[in-house]
Amino acid sequence: MKLIYSTFFLAVATLNAQPWPQVPGYDDMKVPADNPMTAGKVELGRLLYYDKRLSGDGSRACYTCHLKEKGLTDGEPVAIGAYNAKLTRSAPTMWNIGYYPALYWDGRAPSLERQVLGAWSGGNMGATGANGRPSVDAKVAELNKIAGYQPYFQKAFKKDAITKEDAAAALAAFMRTIVSVDSPWVKFRQGDKKAFSKEAQRGWAIFDQKAKCTGCHDGRLLTDMQFHNVGIGMDAATPDMGRFVVTKDEKDKGAFKTPTLLEIANSAPYFHNGSAKTLEEAVDVMLGGGKKNQWLDTTNLKEVKLTPKEKRSLLAFLRSLTVNYTITEPTLPQ
């Protein structure tokens, strides 16, 4: 009886175990109860992620701005949306995006599902439904007419036509699979010192101890997922107030989400407004203790003086934060 019981328990545990990619050594990703992961949704979400037909003018896919070659960002200081609309912020990387409790630089979206609908009907994808531009509903109606999609709709949702909420659920499920499973950084944190060169190992010690960058770029994901004012763009005529716009809390003025530093060497330019062209420039701002302003987070960020040799090591560490992965563009249904 005891044996049967424990076998049963094991089977249940196996059924519940995440078959989806996870960051080794990190907490399990929290998946919303109303959008469980399924192979069908991930497959459909992947197609939608690459499909420009979702955007208002057919010019942009999610992938256009969150590209793999640019560390899953777009390489622009600030993103250029559908209808060539210049947006106010730069496109963040998608690495490990499913682990974040709040999305966007200011954390205004509480879930990936909500974020998708925001991006779709906003400036990024331009399906605003205003000024003669198609709405998200109109775009979904067009998708539903593409015969090649129907088998994917069937597999994901057991229906021939989907709603915008279904599309958002599928896109969210796909994004939850963009996980840095294989990276020198994870190997290093799992105890494999040789995953990094000697110079990068020295750089890690400086990052962690002398410069205390881990005060915010902490843990396996290299972010505390919190919002800090490090002074970027605060000298503008009308500064972007970041997190404050969401919380209306004085201490959040000019605070932005700590970005992960994975694939950082490939994701120039840097900061929410793309104001640092090179990694050296971005690191110099951080080593300088950020940019002075009334709300600067001086608790976590202090000026640190490094020798040129130490700085080289720090940069070598940052450049080693690569991710090994292959993303192949799917052939889109017609």
State the residues that interact with ligand HEC by CB under 6 A: 60, 62, 64-66, 74, 79-81, 87, 89-92, 97, 100, 103-106, 112, 115-116, 119-120, 124-125, 171, 175, 211, 213, 215-217, 228, 230, 232, 256, 258-259, 261, 264, 267, 270-272, 282-283, 286-287, 297, 300-301
**Is the Cβ–Cβ distance between 211 and 314 less than 8 Å?**
yes
Nearest to ligand HEC of 124, 128 (CB atom):
124
CB contact set of 325 (below 8 Å; sequence gap of 6+): 68, 180, 181, 182
Nearest to ligand HEC of 10, 277 (CB atom):
277
For residue 302, the minimal CB distance to ligand HEC (Å) is 8
Nearest to ligand HEC of 111, 197 (CB atom):
111
Nearest to ligand HEC of 23, 230 (CB atom):
230
For residue 92, the minimal CB distance to ligand HEC (Å) is 4
For residue 37, the minimal CB distance to ligand HEC (Å) is 16
Nearest to ligand HEC of 299, 331 (CB atom):
299
Nearest to ligand HEC of 186, 216 (CB atom):
216
Give how far the C-alpha of residue 186 lies from the chain's centroid of Cα atoms, to the nearest Å.
Answer: 17
For residue 284, the minimal CB distance to ligand HEC (Å) is 9
CB contact set of 85 (below 8 Å; sequence gap of 6+): 123, 126
User: Which contacts of 140-149 are long-range, i.e. CB under 8 A and separated by 24 or more positions?
Assistant: 140/164, 140/167, 142/53, 143/48, 143/53, 143/54, 143/167, 146/53, 146/333, 146/334, 147/333, 147/334, 148/332, 148/333, 148/334, 149/44, 149/47, 149/333
Distance CA(109)–CA(303), nearest Å, equals 32
Omega of the bond prior to 269 within 30 degrees of 0, cis? yes
For residue 1, the minimal CB distance to ligand HEC (Å) is 49
Distance CA(135)–CA(37), nearest Å, equals 27
Nearest to ligand HEC of 67, 186 (CB atom):
67
For residue 155, the minimal CB distance to ligand HEC (Å) is 20
Burial bucket for residue 75 (CB in 10 Å: 0-12, 13-18, 19+)? middle
For residue 78, the minimal CB distance to ligand HEC (Å) is 7
